[in-house]
Amino acid sequence: MLVTGGAGFIGANFVRHTLAHHPGYSVTVVDKLTYAGNRANLAGLPEDKVSFVEGDICDAPLMDQLVRDSDLVVHFAAESHNDNSLDDPWPFVNTNIVGTYTILEAVRRHDVRLHHVSTDEVFGDLALDDPHRFTETTAYAPSSPYSATKAGSDHLVRAWIRSFGIKATVSNCSNNYGPYQHIEKFIPRQITNILSGLTPKLYGTGEQVRDWIHVDDHNTAVHLILDKGRLGETYIIGADNDHVNNKQVIELICELMGQDGYEHVADRPGHDLRYAMDSTKLREELGWAPQYTDNDTGMREGLSQTIEWYRDNEDWWRTAKDGVEKQYAKRGQ
């Protein structure tokens, strides 16, 4: 199995999950090690099961060779942070669109199975009181340069399926949280703020809703799609947390960490209001169900574990913290 972006948050959790639960695979990770990639995310994994190649998915000769030597490609590599895409969209266009194109051409040449990992943000956003949720047939309406480039990559995959008959599946998942997530993202930023004695930061009013899912639940879904998913199909992945807004999440983090308050900071331009996922197809066709579904917010257990992970792994995030906060300070956030 070739895993692109396997040194990033979801990719590294996916590689760990694969070794623990699907020991038949041997894995090659290809990762450019951008600011978001970290070799330490794969530390401790057996070298006879996981090999690592530092490289760019836009490098066509490299991808040709790696794809030719694989039975299956799981494609996570991307520029993934909305706020960065507002500062400089080019790396997003290059990696998310040109990189996906490069992989598509390689799997087409070598007739290798591909799973493309995408996001709910391709569908745009919903009003707070909209009864609809995103399904596999919802029209695309991305808002940010990040989500537009992910939408572009999905369109390419679908076109290569239809026009060239490549063996591929696509999944669109909602917001993930869990260990190894870069501290620029909402949940780990607040946890590491509190651990650093800084005040947690909420964009705008905090009324925005994200359909939070634990990264392990995302990765069990990806493996089910690899094992039983129908080629050519798209699967929506979501854990039914579409009633929890950012204000509730930050307040839960504060409660779990004994923190007294948080501050409101500048809102994100073009900020999507609400995402909500309908994962009926995945549940009914493939028998998937999330494991992290407890109580009111569905996040208490997963968030508690995540907080513990950041508490126990300060060496992993500490060196990046000042730089990330300086970047946010420039944006008034």
Question: Is residue 26 classed as helix, strand or coil in its secondary structure?
Answer: coil
Under the binding rule (CB under 6 A), the answer on residue 76 touching ligand NAD is yes
Under the binding rule (CB under 6 A), the answer on residue 275 touching ligand DAU is yes
Fill in the per-residue mask, 50 to 69: x = in contact with ligand NAD (CB under 6 A), - = not in contact. Answer: ------xxx-----------
| Phi and psi at residue 168, to the nearest 5° | -145, 155
31 touches, from ligand NAD, ligand DAU, none (C-beta below 5 to 8 Å by class):
ligand NAD
d(CA 86, CA 216): 29
Question: Is residue 75 classed as helix, strand or coil in its secondary structure?
Answer: strand
For the question of residue 272 being annotated catalytic, the response is no
Under the binding rule (CB under 6 A), the answer on residue 10 touching ligand NAD is yes
d(CA 55, CA 73): 15
Q: Which stretch binds ligand NAD (CB under 6 A): 33-41, 125-133, 162-170, 324-332?
A: 33-41
Under the binding rule (CB under 6 A), the answer on residue 38 touching ligand DAU is no
210 touches, from ligand NAD, ligand DAU, none (C-beta below 5 to 8 Å by class):
ligand DAU
95 touches, from ligand NAD, ligand DAU, none (C-beta below 5 to 8 Å by class):
ligand NAD
Catalytic entry in 31, 56, 120, 211 = 120
The two tokens of residue 312 are 């126990």
d(CA 153, CA 234): 13
Residues whose CB falls within 8 Å of the CB of residue 238, separated by 6 or more in sequence, listed in order: 120, 133, 134, 173, 174, 211, 213, 276, 277, 278, 279
- Binding residues for ligand DAU, rule: CB under 6 A, are 80-82, 119-121, 174-175, 185-186, 189, 201-203, 208, 210, 246, 268, 275
